Amino acid sequence: MARWVVIFEDHPREIGDPIRSNHHQAHFDYLTKHSDRILIGGGLRPGPDEWWSGGLWVIEVEKREDAVSLIESDPYFTLGLRKGYRLMIWGKAPNYGAVTL
């Protein structure tokens, strides 16, 4: 198994707000359903009072294709909130020892 990091870029608020408002529960249900592979996730924004501009997931899957399938099946992706994403394999620095997510 490999750990991957996904950094999402969302469409601006004008486009993203209706999608977030109307479909957040479907997105959170998706995260729960796949919590064995999506180890942690959450929204990203430039500052505490600013609008969400993306998200970050740490996932654990065998192949890149598995990661892409998870990403592109999420309601936030299929409904058009996501403008794009970067998918990268993640290797933690050795000085941290064991890390459990």
The domains located in the chain, with CATH, are: 2-96 (3.30.70.1060)
Section 18-40 average pLDDT: 97
* pLDDT for res 94: 87
Q: Are 48 and 6 in contact (CB under 8 A)?
A: no
- Across the chain, the runs of DSSP E, i.e. the strands, are 2-10, 38-44, 54-61, 82-89
Q: DSSP class of residue 95? A: G
**Predicted structure pTM score:** 0.92
pLDDT, mean of residues 58-82? 98
